[in-house]
Amino acid sequence: MSIDGVSGRTSYLGSSLINIKNQLDTLTEQLSSGKKTTTYAGLGIDAGTATGLRAQISTLASYADTGTLINTRINVANLSLQGMSDSASTVKAAAAGTTLTLDNTGKTAGQTTAMASFTQMVALLNTNAGGRYLFSGRATDTPATEPADVMLNGSGTRAGLTQLIDERAQADGTTGLGRTVISSPTPTSVTIGEDAAGSPFGLKLSAVTTTDANATVTGPASPAPGDPLEMSVDLGATNPSDGDKFTFTFTLPDGTSEKIELTASSSTPLPAGSFAIGADSTETAANLNSALNTAVGTLANTALVAASAITASDNFFSSSPPQRVDTSTNPPVALRDGTQTDTVFWYTGESGSDPARGTAVAGIDQSISVQYGARANEDAFVTALKNIAVYAAVTTNASNPNANGQLTALDSRIVDNLAVHTGKQSIQDIQADFAGAQTAIATTKDRQTQTGSIAQSMLDSIQGINDNEVATKIMALQTSLQASYQTTASLYQLSLLKYLPAP
Amino acid sequence: MGLSQALSTAMAGLRANQAALALVSSNVANAETPGYVRKTTNQVETAVGTGAGVNVAGVNRVLDDYIQSQLRTETSGAAYATTRANFLSNLQSVYGDPDSSATLEAAFNALTTALQALQTSPESQSARTGVINAAQAMAQQLNSTSQGIQTLRNSAETGLTSAVNSANNALTQIAKINKQLLNFPAQDASTAALLDQRDQYITQLSQLMDVRVVAGDGNQVSVYTTSGVQLVSGSDAATLSFNTQGNVTPSSQWSADPSKSTLGTISISYPNGGSIDLVSSGAIRSGSIAAYLELRDNTLVQAQAQVDQLAAAMASALSDTTTGGVAYPPATPAPAPGTPSGFDLDLSDMQTGNVIHLTYTDTTTGEQKNISIIRVDDPSVLPLKDDATVDPNDKVIGIDFSGGMASVVSQLNAALGGANIQFSNPSGSTLRIVDDGASGLSDVNAASVTTTASSLTGGGAQLPLFTDGGNLYTGAITSAGSQQVGLAGRITVNSALLADPSRLIVYNTNPTTPSGDTTRVDFILSQLTTGTYSYSAKTGVGSNATPYKGTLLGFTQQFTSLQGNAAAAAQQLADGQNVVLNTLQKKMDDASGVDIDTEMANLLALQNAYSANARVMSTVNSMFQSLMQVL
């Protein structure tokens, strides 16, 4: 700046001094703040680079935060997954080694274990990590499932699994002949047929075979289009020989097959699974009819009970809306969709046709994102839930002579269903997905730490100062300022006025 | 008679010594007075009898006219450079300390950080509030930057008012002194003092504007601007006037047409009538007045355009959707050969300021042409200029939508019928754009419409996160100008979003978007961080022919460095100019200033001369006494 108001010599020297003083002020400010400048202008041509670097550092910091948060969430999810996997194993072991002793509630020790495991698993599916439900898909503010008790026992007007199992057991005819009809169209023949065409309930005819060369087997086939299936054995005119076998195969609602094998026998007493050879083929056919009635009745009250319950559980857990027996016809011949008012919808999270992992995506770098979403209605969870739930829910009447048969059938099915099957999703598969995400986060974080420190040191070199350099400059300026002050003072002393004699 | 002659000569010598002594004393007394020019006596010898007496004929001012005029030019230049550097340095403080949180880039980075947190925890209430707060901070940062810029423009306007007052004072004084000097034609001490004063006023004037001084007869001067406008002629001074317009807002613009101008202008009027607008004629080229005008009408307007552009690009990036047209006629059933083909566009969501983009090929030349059709609701702004859009290669057509679809179609056909493009309205708000069919003179290549989302739950990821003081920002063009002007000062976060931050996630109410759905956050984040946009050349970044295209942060980076460099350059210029001024001032002082040593030496000489003259007198006196005693 130029100085007005005093004469030239003052101005010129003065403004030089002020200039040095200003530089000194700037340097002192730099030294105390550690920053080169407080304006964009002060950064010079590096202002743009600094803006970019600051944005980069800020982005990296938020990526680091994201990575840490996601890691925590995945750790929590992993704990839940491990817990669920353990629960399933416990139940499987219990079902395989259980005693068939029923307690006062009609459950075995293994089933009591299953009840505890089921409650545990539902709690794990509703795990909340920092206000976020991890197994609800995109509905992260909603619990993933109804409470365990509601799922099993219903709530208000909404039916739970137990009621669905009961309804299904009735619809499957577990106390009768499993929805089959046994008749004798001719004196020498026995026919077994389904009671309704296309019905999903009860025993489904699969095959009929015999070792009796004189007998004729037919079916399963519809006698006329639209009629229910039938299969029959016609003994013909000749009696079967001792040891001839007649095998009836049925498919149960859960997809398993059961055989009824009846052997012609003339022994007394009649061995189990046999029928007496009568005087002629007509009498033998009547014996076969009666033996078949007994055997089908037993099958319906043992294996079919277990299969019916498992199917009911599958209908409850695997479909949305849940499928339940349509009781508008008697006997029922179809399933219907449950409604929100009459049936518990166990999964309360978000459903979608897209992969569950994609329901939670976090960007951990400019172009890298990890997927860590999960839905409680994924196959792996549903398989575990529906088998543990049914095992926990079924009650057996100890006074029923078929009680042991029912329990054995149920145990074997649970053991098989809880085993890992190739081609089907397991909880371990989900754990592997999560582990992949964590690896990606760790790798990215390492790289970002390096990039971040490079960016920070570049930024420091742009907007920071070198303490030594600034201190040296201050020393130099201080010397220069002192010298100037000294010189200026001396210059002002140099006036002729000083040397004139006082008048 | 020899003795009495010697006596009177010695008397004359004493008088001359006294006069010179008086000058020495006034030189010493005024050594530090600004504008004081060292005076010397103008002594002449007079023939008296056989000897010579001495007479003081006047007072000389020791002045180098060349240095003086150079000094005035540089004073104007230095005032211009210093004023500009001061304003730009103040502007730098508006942008904030780059390392602090009070900058646009820091607010922007905080917003993207908050969005990333929301992307990770979309269901978290605190993350949602975090984004709203960061968006508000961003809006407020833009508001305060805009306010800071307008405050500086206001200071420039105020600066002009006081500069014009000072200039008028200086002009009046110069004229007054001219008039006084008419009465004192002689070169005496009082004349010299008046001349010093007048020079001082001229120097004052030259700080305000660039002046040229022409000396006339009888110590008169005329003052002109270097562009040739007369300011003072003899004892007549022109009067400058500045009609300040009160509060300065971003939309306040100076215009040569007084009815449109919303900022003050400087006019000059003469005592004998007549008046000139000094701003529109560009008469003032230097000095602080020129700097104020430059800042108020260009530099700071550009700074405002930069933040407005940032605000507009940010608002539009989040709210605008471009929807392609549906091909017409449909592929099945196969249309008859020669059926005109083109596109159907749904204009129902089009807001004022929204644009239809149309590309067609003129098959006779093979040239592809881009048309931008802008919706306006105020026919007074038509026709629009091609620079209404940033795209340098398009032709802009403004269409008045206030008359309904039939009127829109007829306006479009009138505007583009000659290009063999036909418009029609098959139903509702559908606009059908087809070529000329069988004659094959044109082909419609593409058509799309850009619309601004007005609802927070319109079913799309787009949302009006930022609004123009509560109204939708659509880039509307009205008689008040473009909506973009001053947007940075008015931008706010949508109040509906403040009332319900869940709308950052929920973009659909039927079915309700699940709270963990990040579709909208993903969109906002990618638009803000990786989306690239074109920016108007009015911001000083890029040019009309090749507009700057980049991310929002990239643009911020561009204009903050641009401003930083401008401020640094202005400071360097001002420093350089001051060095020149100081050097000249020194030269001027060397030539015209008072040097105490010289004055003291003169004092000694005068003292000696005075004693010598006195000795002559006493000698003559004793000789007279001797003579008397003899008689």
B328 contacts B309 by C-beta, under 8 angstroms: no
In whole angstroms, give the CA distance from residue A220 to residue A46: 88
**Cβ B585–A10 below 8 Å, yes or no?**
no
Kindly report the nearest CA distance between residue B201 and chain A, in angstroms: 14
Are B506 and B513 in contact by the 8 Å Cβ rule? The answer is yes
- Radius of gyration (Cα) for chain B, nearest Å? 38
Instruction: Give residue A76's pLDDT.
Output: 93
In this prediction, residue A10 carries a pLDDT of 55
- Is the Cβ pair B109, A42 closer than 8 Å? no
Q: Is residue B455 part of a domain?
A: no
pLDDT tens-place string over residues B45-60 = 888 777 788 888 888 8
A364-387 pLDDT, tens digit per residue, is 888 888 999 999 999 999 999 999
pLDDT of amino acid A4: 45
Q: Give the domain range for residue B16.
A: 2-62+594-630
Render pLDDT for B198-222 as a digit per residue (tens, 0 to 9). 999 999 999 999 999 998 888 899 9
Distance CA B373, CA B386 (A): 11
Give A357 or A495, the one with higher predicted confidence. Answer: A357
Tokens of B401: 């939508």
pTM: 0.83
Residue B105, chain A, CB below 8 Å: the answer is: yes
Task: Give the best-scoring range by mean pLDDT among A2-11, A449-458, B380-389.
Answer: A449-458
Number of domains present in the structure of chain B: 1
Mean pLDDT of A234-247: 86
Nearest of B477, B264, B240, B496 to residue B377 by alpha carbon: B477
What pLDDT is stored for residue A327 in this prediction?
86
Residue A5 pLDDT: 43
The DSSP symbol for B512 reads B
- Put simply, the answer to whether A15 touches B517 (Cβ < 8 Å) is no
Q: What percent of chain A lies above the pLDDT cut of 70?
A: 95
Domain positions in chain A: 146-346
The sign of the CA dihedral A375, A376, A378, A381 is positive
Residue range B567-617, pLDDT digits in tens: 999 999 999 998 898 888 888 888 888 888 888 888 889 989 999 999 998
Which of B21, B74, B109, B145 to mutate to test binding with chain A, by most A CBs within 10 Å of its CB? B109
- Does residue B119 sit within a domain? no
Instruction: Evaluate whether A30 touches A36 at the Cβ level (below 8 Å).
Output: yes
Cα gap B490→B500, rounded to integer Å: 21
B564, A39: Cβ pair inside 8 Å?
yes
Q: Which residues of A191-213 are buried (b: 16+ CB within 10 A; e: fewer)?
A: bbbbbbeebbbbbbbbebebebe
**Distance (Å, rounded) from C-alpha A319 to C-alpha A332?**
20
Statement: residue A180 has pLDDT above 50: yes
Q: For residue B102, is it within any domain?
A: no
Strands B422-424 and B466-468: unpaired
Tell me the three state secondary structure of residue B44: strand
DSSP state of A190: E
- Strand B355-362, strand A257-265: pairing: unpaired
pLDDT band at A7 (very low <50, low <70, confident <90, very high): very low
Mean pLDDT within A471-475: 91
Encode pLDDT of A381-408 as tens digits. Answer: 999 999 999 999 988 888 888 888 888 9
Give every CB contact of residue B1 below 8 A, 6+ residues apart in sequence. Answer: none
On whether residue B35 sits in a domain, the answer given is: yes
CA distances for A18 relative to A10, A479, A490, B575, B593, angstroms: 12, 15, 18, 13, 22
Name the strand (E) or helix (H) holding B466. Answer: strand B466-468
First to last CA, chain A: 41
Spell out a b/e string for B10-36, using b for 16 or more CB atoms within 10 Å of the CB, else e.
bebbbebbebbbebbebbeebbeeebb
**pLDDT, tens digit, 9 for 90 and up, residues B474-490:** 999 988 889 999 999 99
Is B503 in contact with B512 (CB distance < 8 Å)? no
- As a whole number, the mean pLDDT across chain B is 90
Q: Using CB atoms within 10 A of its CB, is residue A96 exposed (0-12), middle (13-18) or buried (19+)?
A: middle
| Residue numbers of B between 521 and 540 with CB closer than 8 Å to A | 522, 525, 529-530
CA B156, CA B146: separation in Å to the nearest integer?
15
Q: Residue B300 — pLDDT band, cuts 50, 70, 90?
A: very high
Contact criterion met (CB < 8 Å) for B601 and A496: yes
Contact between chains at B567 and A39 (C-beta distance less than 8 A)? yes
- The secondary element (H helix, E strand) that includes residue A31 is helix A8-33
Q: How do residues B25-41 score in pLDDT, each as one tens digit? A: 888 888 888 888 888 88
Give CA–CA dist B347/A139, Å, rounded: 35
H-assigned helices in B96-188: 104-120, 125-183
Question: A219, A208 in Cβ contact below 8 A?
Answer: yes
Of the residues A7, A71, A444, A463, the best mutation for testing chain B's interface (the one with the most B CB atoms within 10 Å of its CB) is A7
Cβ contact B170:B205 at 8 Å: yes
Please name the member of A130, A373, A496 whose beta carbon is closest to the beta carbon of B600. A496
Angle at B365 between CA B363 and CA B370, to 5 degrees: 75
From residue B144, give the alpha-carbon distance in Å to each of B140, B148, B307, B380, B552. Answer: 6, 6, 11, 33, 19
> Rounded CA gap, A254 and A257, in Å?
9
Q: Is the peptide bond before A223 cis (omega within 30 degrees of 0)?
A: no
A42 contact residues in B (CB cutoff 8 A):
564, 568
Share of chain A above pLDDT 90, in %: 35
* pLDDT tens, residue by residue, A121-174: 999 999 888 888 999 998 988 999 999 999 999 989 999 999 999 999 989 888
Q: Which residue of A has its CA nearest to B564?
A: A41
Mean pLDDT of A419-423: 84
- The percent of residues above 70 in pLDDT, for chain B, comes to 100
Question: If pLDDT is split at 50, 70 and 90, which confidence band does A11 have?
Answer: low
> Is B68 in CB contact (< 8 Å) with chain A?
no
pLDDT tens digit sequence for B507-536: 998 888 888 888 999 999 999 999 999 999
Residues B83-134: tens digit of each pLDDT: 999 999 999 999 988 888 889 999 999 999 999 999 988 888 889 999 999 9
